[in-house]
Amino acid sequence: MLGIAVKPSKIENILEFGKFVRKYLEYYVVDAENNIIADEDILEKLDKLSNVVMTIQAKRENAFELVELYGSYDFIQCIVLGNKYYLSEKEKGYGNDRILNVIEKALEYDVDVWVGTEGVEQLVKNIVEDNDLVSYYIYGQESTLSSKKAIYVPFATNINNSMLTLMEDYLKRRRNYRGNWKEFILSLNNKMMINNIKNNNDIIIGFPIFPNREEVLNFLKMMK
């Protein structure tokens, strides 16, 4: 199964782009970063698209409120720890085990739950495996959990130096990045790696570095 992830700050119209994505792919993942979506009019319209995944950063001050808010819709909830790049000083001070409490809160609702495993795989192992949750991990890392796997893959059809500059902050935030960008960003011309991704994951979520319709269709063509 395939999907596309977007950051609201990079999309002119998150609803229209979502309609396009859902026309061709199974999942539409909203990575809210600093632009948390709480507007009920927008949420209602997103909900109508179906199979929309809303990302919640567990270290956010309002994480539990967002679980409750999104739990009133049919969204899939994706609970991630939260990268310090997006967090306040107070939020950075929360312990990693906060993610377990947020997951437990999400499990109170009749929704599907994905769990971002970057930096916390062993911490979330039991709750993911015991509740048959989806482990959501980043391209360039491995998932060792006995669960359904979803992989997040930043991609571009053609990769050049300007694109790598654009992704520099993302690459630096990866714990095991040592200049080996090809292990973290997928070129859609790399057929061998595409086959490897397809053979080892249940769900493939592409993050188009250039979020446009052409890139979405190129991703679909190469991954299906």
Q: What is the pTM for the complete model shown?
A: 0.95
C-alpha triplet 69, 74, 77: angle, nearest 5°: 65
- Predicted confidence at residue 32, as pLDDT, reads 74
Residue 216 is part of a domain; what is its CATH number?
3.20.20.30
Could you give the number of structural domains in the chain?
Answer: 1
User: Region 101-122: what's the mean pLDDT?
Assistant: 96
Judged by DSSP in three states, 148 sits in strand
Query: Residue 85 corresponds to which tokens in the numbers above?
Result: 């790049």
37 contacts 52 by C-beta, under 8 angstroms: no
pLDDT over 80 (residue 101): yes
Neighbouring C-alpha atoms within 13 Å toward the C-beta of 210: 16
Domain assignment of residue 54, given as a range: 2-223
Instruction: Encode 62-96: b = buried (16+ Cβ within 10 Å), e = exposed.
Output: ebbebbebbbebbbbbbbbbbbeeebeeebeebee
**33-91 confidence digits (pLDDT tens):** 777 899 999 999 999 999 999 999 999 999 999 999 999 999 999 999 988 878 889 99
Q: What is the pLDDT of residues 112-171, one digit of tens each?
A: 999 999 999 999 999 999 999 999 999 999 899 999 999 999 999 988 888 888 888 888
pLDDT for res 171 = 83
Q: Are 217 and 4 in contact (CB under 8 A)?
A: no
- Which tens digit of pLDDT belongs to each residue from 174-194? 877 777 888 899 999 999 999
